[in-house]
Chain A
Amino acid sequence: DVKVTQSSRYLVKRTGEKVFLECVQDMDHENMFWYRQDPGLGLRLIYFSYDVKMKEKGDIPEGYSVSREKKERFSLILESASTNQTSMYLCASSKRRGQGYTFGSGTRLTVV
Chain B
Amino acid sequence: GQQLNQSPQSMFIQEGEDVSMNCTSSSIFNTWLWYKQDPGEGPVLLIALYKAGELTSNGRLTAQFGITRKDSFLNISASIPSDVGIYFCAGQLFGGSQGNLIFGKGTKLSVKP
Contact = CB atoms under 8 A, between A and B. Distances in A.
Top-3 shortest CB links A-B = A97-B99, A103-B42, A42-B105
Contact of A101 (B30, B98, B101, B105): B101
A65 interface: no
Interface of B: 1, 30-31, 33, 35, 40-45, 48, 88, 90, 92, 98-101, 103-106
A98 B31 contact: yes
A42 B90 CA distance: 11
A56 B88 CA distance: 24
Interface residues of A, number: 23
A16 B44 CA distance: 33
A56 B100 CA distance: 11
Given A48-B100, A59-B1, A90-B42, A42 B31 contact: no
Interface in A63-97: 90, 92, 97
Interface string A91-112: 0100001111111111010000
Given A42-B106, A43-B103, A48-B100, A90 B43 contact: yes
A104 B45 CA distance: 12
Interface of A: 4, 33, 40-43, 45, 48, 56, 59, 90, 92, 97-106, 108
Contact of B45 (A33, A48, A100): A100
A98 B99 contact: yes
Nearest to A104: B42
Contacts of B35: 103
Nearest to A102: B45
A97 B92 CA distance: 9
Given A33-B100, A106-B40, 4 more contacts: A45-B100, A97-B99, A97-B100, A100-B48
A71 B30 CA distance: 27
Contact of B33 (A45, A48, A100): A100
A22 to B, nearest CB: 15
Contacts of A103: 35, 42-44
Contacts of B104: 42
Contacts of A59: 1
